[in-house]
Amino acid sequence: MNLHPKVRPLWERALALPILTLLMIYKAFHLPTFFFPRDIRNIVRNWDLRMYWVLISSGLNRAFIDQPCEFTVPEDCKPKVVVDPKWRMTEQQIRKFYEDGFIGPLDAFTREEMQNFRNDLLEIEKSTSQTYGFVTPRDRHFENPRLWGYMKHPAITERLAQILGPDLLVWRTQIFHKPPKAPAIQFHQASTFLVEDYQVPALHPKNRDEIFQLTVWIAVDDATHENGCLDFYRGTHDSIKTIKFGGEEGFYNAAYKLEFDRDPSRLVRVPCKSGQFIIFMERCIHGSAPNTTDRHRLAFNLRAIPTNVAVYPGVKKYRSVYNGGKYFLDNWGVVHLRGVDRHKLSRTKELADPSYGKDGLPVRKAA
Ligand SMILES: O=C(O)CCC(=O)C(=O)O
Ligand SMILES: [Fe+2]
């Protein structure tokens, strides 16, 4: 079933409204759904009552962008693990991260290292993914030890551990290449990544209101105001917002506007030098402006979770509204980033641990 977020014609809306109302009743009263097709069962299982209500009460003009969740800054902002003093974060820094939703830029790699890597990365981006069988910027760490090596750098893992805890996995990565004159990536947010196909969330945390995922975004090229550095609306990770279908803004293949107060005093632009990174909650509203320059803006990200979060349990494939195409998960798996996986809740993929050279950076290997 195609649940692509867009303005639906009147007849589709007229048809969908009574169906959605019926499904909401099934959800509210926990009625049996075994006789429904799988897509419908997934919707009943995974949509929160608030998701139905926003769609129904707006006549299918508005929707939650993802599974609703709320976040409040915890009393205790002490680091969850003690790490090497080089990577240590203070309680104040962690509190600020919880308040803002992001931290950075932080240093990891040298400009030389990143500039030396960028051609490899551009090649990978253009090639067919061995994991999915088509060209996609998604999950290329499976095939490229050097890319995976950068992701495992302690500057990154030790920061993540202080916020998420000692035992960590990576469930998704992506290359973000913004060539000269590339358009903006509009403001967006996500919680459990139900946003991908509106049927099955990728992530299954015990409690959606806690932080169960962090994104690390690493600048390969300098990211500036002019070529589209990351922009955040500070503090907007307090809740998952609604979207209004249609309008001028486009997010990859979808057209909608995220509904939130665009208070200019909360907008923070975060330029990064080549080799620096930002850690953020995908729930914090973020985007990036168009690249108005003749320079490329190349970056990659990784999404990390504690080992007690299940990813795609029992799921064979998903359809991505944003990166296009059907992603079969036979060759996908979570990858061990740090600590021990005592839970083993998800399909796992073994990747060789990167070897590091004298300079502490992963040694270069062919893809
Ligand atoms: O690279 C960009 O401009 C957007 C990155 C992003 O949205 C993400 O890493 O989640
Ligand atoms: Fe994002």
Tens of pLDDT, residues 210-227: 999 999 999 999 999 999
Q: Which residues pair with 338 in a beta bridge?
A: 168
How far does the centroid of ligand 2 lie from the alpha carbon of residue 65, in Å? Answer: 13
Nearest-atom number in ligand 1 for the CA of 174 is 9
How far does the centroid of ligand 1 lie from the alpha carbon of residue 176, in Å? Answer: 7
- Ligand 1 and 236: CB distance under 6 A: no
- Ligand 1 and 217: CB distance under 6 A: yes
- Ligand 1 and 216: CB distance under 6 A: no
- Ligand 1 and 187: CB distance under 6 A: no
Q: What is the average per-residue pLDDT within 261-274?
A: 97
CA 245, 246, 250, 253 torsion-angle sign? positive
Q: Best substitution site from 66, 170, 185 to test ligand 1's pocket, by max atoms within 8 Å of Cβ?
A: 185
pLDDT digits (tens, 9 = 90+) for 137-151: 999 999 999 999 999
Task: Identify which of 117-121, 242-246, 361-365 has the greatest average pLDDT.
Answer: 117-121
Q: Best substitution site from 173, 187, 230 to test ligand 1's pocket, by max atoms within 8 Å of Cβ?
A: 230
The SS3 call for residue 308 is: coil
Say which range, 170-179, 299-308, 352-361, has the weakest mean pLDDT: 352-361
Nearest CA to ligand 1 atom 6: 287
Percentage of the chain exceeding pLDDT 90: 84
One-letter-per-residue 3-state SS of 198-262: CCCCCEECCCCCCCCCEEEEEECCCECCCCCCEEEECCHHHECCEEEECCCCCECCECEEEECCC
- Ligand 1 and 284: CB distance under 6 A: no
CA distance linking residue 322 with residue 324, whole number of Å: 6
- Residue 363: what pLDDT? 66
- Residue 367: what pLDDT? 42
- Residue 5: what pLDDT? 64
Q: What is the average per-residue pLDDT within 270-283?
A: 98
- Ligand 1 and 277: CB distance under 6 A: no
- Ligand 1 and 227: CB distance under 6 A: no
Asked if the model's pLDDT at residue 253 lies above 80, the reply is no
Mean pLDDT score of the chain? 93
- Residue 96: what pLDDT? 98
Confidence of residue 252 (pLDDT cuts 50, 70, 90): low
pLDDT digits (tens, 9 = 90+) for 301-349: 999 999 999 999 999 999 887 777 899 999 999 999 999 999 999 999 9
- Residue 127: what pLDDT? 97
Asked if the model's pLDDT at residue 1 lies above 80, the reply is no
Nearest CA to ligand 1 atom 3: 288
- Residue 11: what pLDDT? 79
Q: Which domains does the chain have, with CATH numbers?
A: 1-63 (no CATH), 65-338 (2.60.120.620)
Asked if the model's pLDDT at residue 250 lies above 60, the reply is yes
Percentage of the chain exceeding pLDDT 70: 93
- Ligand 1 and 214: CB distance under 6 A: no
CA distance linking residue 160 with residue 162, whole number of Å: 5
pLDDT digits (tens, 9 = 90+) for 159-175: 999 999 999 999 999 99
- Ligand 1 and 173: CB distance under 6 A: no
The dihedral over CA atoms of 246, 283, 148, 206, expressed in degrees to the nearest 10, equals: -120
Confidence of residue 359 (pLDDT cuts 50, 70, 90): low
- Residue 366: what pLDDT? 45
How far does the centroid of ligand 2 lie from the alpha carbon of residue 42, in Å? Answer: 24
| DSSP symbols for 255-298 | -EEEES---GGGEEEE-B-TTEEEEE-TTS-EEE----SSS-EE
Instruction: Tell me, rounded to whole angstroms, the distance of Cα 122 from its chain centroid.
Output: 21
